[in-house]
Structure 1
Amino acid sequence: MLAGLAARLDGDGTTIIEVVTQLTSEQRHGLRPLPVPLPLVPAIAERFHGTELDARDRRLLLAVAVGLDDALDPLLVFDGRTAADLAADPVGEHLTIHAGRVRLVDARLGIWVAATTGTAETAAVHARLSEIFRRCGDAVGADWHRAGAALERAPEAAPDLALLASQLARAGHPERALLLAREAEQHAIGEDREGVELVAGRSALDAGLAVEAVERLSRLFPHAAESRRLEALGDLIVAQTFVHGAVPELDPGALRPTTDALGDWRHWTRAAAIGAVLCAERGDRRGMRGWLDALREGAARTGADQELRDAVVALSWLLVGEPEALGRADRRVSDGGLLRILDAAVTGDIDVALRLLAGDEGMASGTRSSFVPGYRHSPIVRACQAVVEVLLLVWRGDIGRARDRLIQSSLSLPVALPLAGLGVVLARRLDLAVLGELGPYARALTELSSVGTDGLVDHGIRSFLSGDFDEASAAIRLWTELGSPATAIAVPGLDELAAASGQPSARTSIAPPDVALARCLRARVALVAEGRWRSEYEEVSETARSLRSPFARARVETMLGTRQAIRQEHASARVHLQYAERLFELSGATAWARAVRDRLDRLDAREGSIVPSVDPLMACRRAWSLRLTAREVEVAMRAVHGAANRDIAAALNVSVRTVEVHLGRVFAKLDVRSRVELTVLAHRFEQHL
């Protein structure tokens, strides 16, 4: 939204702020279209105060402002002067003319001219332009300006405008299509109005204007013709899901076509495919199964088994954490754009997946019917492609490049909407990896999100990278106690601490082999007992060298270095941490690199140079709390501070035997044999964490 305003307001900050204050909340969040024309705010009025235009120049500037494109020839016919004459005359100061194109030097002038010109004169300009475009054979321009010239309702213009809007939407221009459809709505009556609402709703959805799409498409229910309702059903399901963050609870059977019309069954089947995938994205297996049953029924009626059913079934099960669904899918299905890309990625061929995504077809072949509605080049489809590309770059370890790509895409595409808000989660994790905190783009995208963003993990990562280990531990512990909620598709988390909790994730995330292997290696480093560390260390170190993602390997190297530092193996620790720092820098994860540099500096510092905290063993307490019960932690920490068993029993109001039992369990879990070893381990943890 802000990028669009900047383009239409010449990037003037004062004007943008004044316009934004006059927009609705939904417009500010990019969920409804911006008004056309934009409001005449004080900054624009002041900018052009005293500007004098003769009648002819005013009409020309108004014609430029209300046109659908920037073609010069129709405006030359409209005005009667040549391009050279316009450039030489006073009006030329306001125009940029080049290569058969014309635009206003300052886009804000169009707003001022439109707002200060009377209705009758504006209609006359539209009428003149309509006639010019009709003679040139430009039906789009002719009908657009004919509707603009109508001071009263013109029902005969509505069907043509709706048809043109539909054609524009298919060509990948949903915002212009919506503009025509909204104009057609002003003139449509009867059944024509249903068609206009369908085109307007679809165009709004394709542009990412989800609230506008819900409003338009909802008008078709329940009273529009059944064929119209079925045609709009899939689009409405997606729009409502985008707005509310959850798939609407519908009974597919209650919406089943009541006739044998093949077109109606195809629309119903498409809606079932959409519902299944959207439920799968959100981990709703019950809802997914219901929609898949409807999909199978519809596919049997329409003959869309390989074309649609097989790909959607495989994709749905993949998204709920069963990658073996790929093996059951027919790899020849034609409607498997996203499926084929994820198939390549989760089997280890991320570069192949990126090439598939960048190909001529990309996800478009599988997007139209099985993932989100819309057309091949629509913004919502391109947003989905952009988010998938960013995900693949993250999986490959190109953290800096992934962040740059997501920021670039967010300026023109609704990246917060598709894939259950995956783009928002990625934006936050990438900002944390690069900046160590959330930047303006991630915060703005979060405002648009209607789904959760794993905020506890984000908080844990931020604290971890800033050196506040106990705060990070607390956040991750609470996250695990809540069931480790996570996205269906793996994004960088903080399993460095989560693994130590010993609680398995409630949901299996989709991940390529590199990411899954790195996660397994980090868990081994976190959980291995001291007695088995030497053999585990050698095996993990060797296996880590096979990781192709620099970011994934760097995190394993960091954990190896930290564990070696705790064991006082300083030379080995330094090597691992130096590897990690370089790999993080290579991946673009500069915040992680800084965190490792801090650990290297601490490792190099002389003993006693580190300023102790108020509780000198607070970090150790937090670390052990991930593996010990609350009572075991209390007993262990009192023992580390030198309290005898009898004193601990009195302080905790338990028996000495109970203290002995707790200490025995602590020794077993932490793989130590005595109080002395426990105390040494505690101070090592504190020093190096």
Structure 2
Amino acid sequence: MHESTMVRHNRVFDDASSGTPNDSNVLFGRRPECARIDQLLAEPLTGASAALVITGDPGIGKTSLLRYARDGARTLKVLSVSGVEAETMFPFAALGRLLTPVLDRLGSLPAVQADALRCALTLSAERPRDRFAVCAAAFQLLATTAERSPTLVLVDDAQWLDVSTAEALAFTARRLRAEGLVLLIATRDVGGFADIEQLNIGALDEDSAAELLTARFAAAPAEEVVRALTAELGGNPLALHEVSGTLTRAELTGTDPLRAPFSAENAASRIFGPRISALDRASLHALRITAVAAGDGLEVVLAALAAEPGDCAALESLENNGLVAVEVADVHFVHPLLRTAVLTNLTPGQLRALHRTVASVMTAPSQAERRAWHLAEAALGPDEAAARALEQAADHALRRSGYAGAALALERAAELSTDGPSKARRFCAAANAAHSAGQLDTALRLLRKSEEYTVDPVLHADIADMRGRIELHTGRASVARMVWQAGAVAVSEVDPARAASLRATAAIGALAAGDPAGACALAREAAHSASPADGNTQLLSKTVIGNALTLMGQESDGMRWMREAAASTRKPAAGEPDLEWVLVGALSGVTWYGEEIDPRGFLDPLLHQLRRSGALGHLPLALHVAALADSRRGRLQSGRSAAAEAAELAAGIGDVFTLCPALGCLALLEAQVGDEQSCRAHAAESLRQREVTRLGVMHHVALEGLGLLELSLNRPDRAIPYLEEVNRGPEPDVRDPMVVRVSSLDLIEAYVRVGADISATMRDQLGGFAGLTLPPALSALIWRAMALVAGDGDYDEFFSRALAFHARCPSPFDAARTRLCYGERLRRAGRRRDAREHLRCSLDGFERIGARLWAARTATELTAAGQPAKARSGSVADALTAQELEVAQLAANGGTNREIATQLFLSVKTIEMHLGRVYRKVGVRSRTQLANSFRDSVKDCV
């Protein structure tokens, strides 16, 4: 750590000051910042955890605050790492250095996580994995470390972390709960840590600057000198400390005028320029080699210097002069500004020559990745040898799940390629790696570059396949469909099987865009042209055809296709599932086939496979789909748990595509169970995410949830605006036809309750629906809506039809709502005895599934019908948060704390915390008692 100087009692402190008393006077003008750090350092001692990102300009004092934290962590285990600018392209470089002291504990991790981390750090055979498996493993290793001893993790210069390490640290920060671990990250800009608590470090004021200068010189500087230096150096403590060291005493006291110019920007040259200029030729060359070979290790620096006699001795001279520090295996500058000053004074030709020298001595296989980058920096124009070396380096990174680093290497390899086809292939490979790293904008940019050089139809298909996925992932379903269709046309003559696969995925785009007829046509064409042995294409095609036919009212044919698809999706193939499996689950889970096919039948094996393989990248979407399926089938508590986990994991891995709809689904389920506060909070966050990310897919569910919540509170006037907005939709491309159709029926109920007229168009639409052959669950809702607007002579028949359709499908929530509506209509008609029958059934149904607000409303209506009633006291599940409920269910089913932690990607300490709260809320003291409580109280709710 190096960025700012700590001054105390007129002397400079470095890392050797570890263990000195924590005193906020150590850092001038930083009392509030030090106080916040003191608060954080107390957290692990109580078993709590926290993360803080410290931001600010170079030299502003971020590193000194980390040192302050280290000095105050007398009872904590400290792990630390600093980002290195020259290592930003090497996957997991910083993570490896951070975790080295605790790698002996890898054996305590679940096997999948331990293997993923060993692979990422090149400690075992390499095999590509979901990149978040490494993130989960890093988090668990740090959490396991904190189990033994409260731990402080310090990360400096995070702006220079490789992307993979930064992602793992961000994931860790988001998952911290009760591990006894504090993570402090210092960085110039927030980058990928934007959603973590931040502490921005500003400039020193004149009083603080005067204190610093007085301590620096043991003499008070003149006020006008302090004022001038503070203004010109922007209150930057490092610049004040170092630049003031170049002043004479007469300048400091104001006797002589200050020499100009002064600025924070030229501080490096002002501080180090004279010392560099005074070096002899050999020492200057050694300094330059050290700058170019930063992060490569002492062995490489010495080998590069050995090329010229006497240069090895020059390195010792640099150390004696206080310019570099030589350690057992490395050499580094005393301050990064010194490296900056060295590199900025080199001509491009000099810089290329130095990189060439360093590359020439890196001959070991373990050095191939770094050698490739030196060759790239040494290249003047296209260089196929350097391009091949980078491509090999990228392959090594991919085998370690270092997708972001691989994308950088492949993009540079493409730029260095000597022919168009090689450029096209490498840009496309770079895009694929960027896509795997979650860098969608980068992937699109690289795909466009690849297209510029592409003449191969197969490569055109690869580009179309990837671009279509990105377009769908970001909510542009119609664009995805067109891209996939164009790719199918391009490759149809040379690779018919690939063309069929692209048509099947294009059908997904059409379905998501609200065009079931187009989706059906594309899927039929794909199924017809694909080989029977092409399982994925046939599976996707059948699923889309089944969905599309049902949406078009051809229920019997749709169900036949869906049965075929479901039969082949119950057992995912061995190994890591690919996107197709998740899409199949998504298409099946959000439809209305609950009456005959329970989507959980094939989603549960998929979820098990995803958890077992550590595939966090796909898990949030699959959980979201499972939650939607549970919502539609009345399994409110298990759905709430799945939706909460989907949202939390999506936030933890930065999956904005899933986060928005998962939050919306959670809000919908909370509206169904009657958790008003949580429903409003999660719906608001879902809608905010939609505005931030500009994703339209499934955000309607949040509005549907808000509308449903208002209906449950018997406030139909407040429900109407939400439901009307769902029906309008922001744009046709992102409207989910099923959500719109269901919400329109809720809107009719709201209109009826406020006494508003139902438009002729809406009545005609209802009549048209009633004439279609639709899934029973949807038909039941349509007949309920028709009953609500029917005259006195028709509503009995229409409600009876609705209940008959409910009897064909397990949807207890909707069935209870229909009986509530029927009972209300009967009571208003004076048929109180008939009303009580339906209201009692409705109350029982709502209580069984844990729909508290709906049960309370029904009890009020039942009392008005002449049978005093009130909703039963809540179940075990009612008192628990979504995550507490999930933990409790797993514990009640016999899971150990470590098994639960592994399944939910949390720490053991966090599971212990949740179980402690569960025991207190439920009133039990053991797992056996908890299991009995759940068997008696929760069984009907899930």
Q: The TM-score by the shorter chain falls in which range?
A: 0.5 to 0.7
Out of 425, 448, 452, the residue aligned to residue 218 of structure 1 is 448
Counterpart CA distance in 2 for 1:430 and 1:291 is 34
Partner deviation per Cα, 1:343-396 (whole Å, 9 max, x = no partner): 7985546775323222269899xxxxxxxxxxx975554343223212221122
Partner deviation per Cα, 1:642-666 (whole Å, 9 max, x = no partner): xxxxxxxxxxxxxxxxxxxxxxxxx
- 3-state SS in 1 of match to 2:477: coil
- 3-state SS in 1 of match to 2:639: helix
CA contact (8 A) 2:596 2:809 kept: no
Q: CA deviation at 1:234?
A: 0.8
Aligned to 2:392: 160
CA contact (8 A) 2:500 2:525 kept: yes
Is 2:815 the counterpart of 1:553?
yes
Partner deviation per Cα, 1:487-529 (whole Å, 9 max, x = no partner): 2445963624426642427998999956335414523541443
Query: What amino acid is the match of 1:382?
Result: L
Q: CA deviation at 1:559?
A: 0.9
Change (3 A) 1:379 1:50: closer
Q: 270-279 or 282-291, which moves further after superposition?
A: 282-291
Aligned to 2:748: 498
Is 2:442 the counterpart of 1:442?
no
CA contact (8 A) 2:607 2:622 kept: no
Counterpart CA distance in 2 for 1:225 and 1:149 is 31
Counterpart CA distance in 2 for 1:268 and 1:40 is 56
Out of 394, 403, 407, the residue aligned to residue 181 of structure 1 is 407
Counterpart CA distance in 2 for 1:564 and 1:274 is 49
Aligned to 1:675: none
Partner deviation per Cα, 1:263-284 (whole Å, 9 max, x = no partner): xx54444333222211112223
Counterpart CA distance in 1 for 2:459 and 2:396 is 18
Aligned to 2:824: 562
Aligned to 1:239: 470
Q: CA deviation at 1:211?
A: 2.8
Q: CA deviation at 1:235?
A: 1.1
Out of 604, 607, 624, the residue aligned to residue 358 of structure 1 is 604
Aligned length: 528
Identity of aligned residues (%): 14
Q: 470-479 or 226-235, which moves further after superposition?
A: 470-479
Q: CA deviation at 1:557?
A: 2.3
- 3-state SS in 2 of match to 1:106: strand
CA contact (8 A) 2:776 2:805 kept: no
Query: What amino acid is the match of 1:15?
Result: L
Trace 1:30-109 onto structure 2 (pairs within 5 A).
46-49=65-68, 65-67=94-96, 70=99, 105-109=151-155
Is 2:792 the counterpart of 1:530?
yes
Q: CA deviation at 1:66?
A: 4.1
Partner deviation per Cα, 1:83-129 (whole Å, 9 max, x = no partner): xxxxxxxxxxxx97979x99994344355697899875433289779
Aligned to 2:657: 417
Q: CA deviation at 1:182?
A: 2.5
Change (3 A) 1:314 1:69: farther
CA contact (8 A) 1:201 1:216 kept: yes
Change (3 A) 1:508 1:246: farther
Trace 1:215-614 onto structure 2 (pairs within 5 A).
215-226=445-456, 227-248=458-479, 249-250=482-483, 252=485, 256-257=489-490, 261-262=494-495, 265-284=496-515, 288=519, 291=522, 295=526, 300=529, 303=531, 307=535, 310-320=538-548, 321-322=551-552, 323=555, 324-327=557-560, 331=564, 347-348=593-594, 353-359=599-605, 379=616, 381-413=618-650, 417=657, 423=662, 425-434=664-673, 435-436=675-676, 437-440=679-682, 441-443=685-687, 445-447=689-691, 448=693, 449-451=695-697, 453-454=699-700, 457=704, 460-473=707-720, 476=723, 487-489=736-738, 493=743, 495-498=745-748, 501=758, 502-504=763-765, 515-516=777-778, 518-533=780-795, 548-570=810-832, 573=835, 576-577=838-839, 579-596=841-858, 599=861
Counterpart CA distance in 1 for 2:389 and 2:670 is 49
Determine which structure has more spread, i.e. the larger CA radius of gyration. Answer: 2
Partner deviation per Cα, 1:307-336 (whole Å, 9 max, x = no partner): 355444433333331452452589389689
Change (3 A) 1:267 1:12: farther
Counterpart CA distance in 2 for 1:309 and 1:241 is 18
Structure 1 length as normaliser, TM-score?
A: 0.59
Counterpart CA distance in 2 for 1:279 and 1:40 is 54
In structure 1, list runs of 5 or more residues that go unmatched: 1-5, 23-38, 77-94, 130-137, 365-375, 607-689
Change (3 A) 1:51 1:211: same
CA contact (8 A) 1:387 1:415 kept: no
Aligned to 1:35: none
Query: What amino acid is the match of 1:530?
Result: D
Q: CA deviation at 1:142?
A: 6.0
- 3-state SS in 2 of match to 1:122: coil
- 3-state SS in 2 of match to 1:402: helix
Counterpart CA distance in 2 for 1:126 and 1:198 is 36
Change (3 A) 1:377 1:316: farther
Aligned to 2:191: none
Counterpart CA distance in 1 for 2:778 and 2:725 is 23
Aligned to 1:122: 295
Change (3 A) 1:49 1:317: same
Change (3 A) 1:551 1:106: same
Q: CA deviation at 1:159?
A: 1.7
- 3-state SS in 1 of match to 2:765: coil
Query: What amino acid is the match of 1:48?
Result: R
- 3-state SS in 2 of match to 1:109: strand
Change (3 A) 1:520 1:237: same
Counterpart CA distance in 1 for 2:799 and 2:472 is 47
- 3-state SS in 2 of match to 1:430: helix
Change (3 A) 1:579 1:412: same
- 3-state SS in 2 of match to 1:316: helix
Query: What amino acid is the match of 1:398?
Result: R
CA contact (8 A) 1:40 1:111 kept: no
CA RMSD of aligned residues (A): 5.6
In structure 2, list runs of 5 or more residues that go unmatched: 1-39, 74-78, 85-91, 106-140, 162-185, 188-289, 301-328, 331-363, 379-385, 570-579, 753-757, 869-942
- 3-state SS in 2 of match to 1:67: helix
Structure 2 length as normaliser, TM-score?
A: 0.45
Counterpart CA distance in 1 for 2:299 and 2:793 is 84
CA contact (8 A) 2:447 2:463 kept: yes
Q: CA deviation at 1:409?
A: 1.7
Counterpart CA distance in 1 for 2:747 and 2:854 is 15
Q: CA deviation at 1:451?
A: 3.7
Q: CA deviation at 1:580?
A: 3.3
Partner deviation per Cα, 1:110-158 (whole Å, 9 max, x = no partner): 55697899875433289779xxxxxxxx98x865566688893654542
CA contact (8 A) 1:326 1:343 kept: no
CA contact (8 A) 1:276 1:288 kept: yes
Query: What amino acid is the match of 1:461?
Result: L
Change (3 A) 1:247 1:534: closer
CA contact (8 A) 1:424 1:445 kept: no
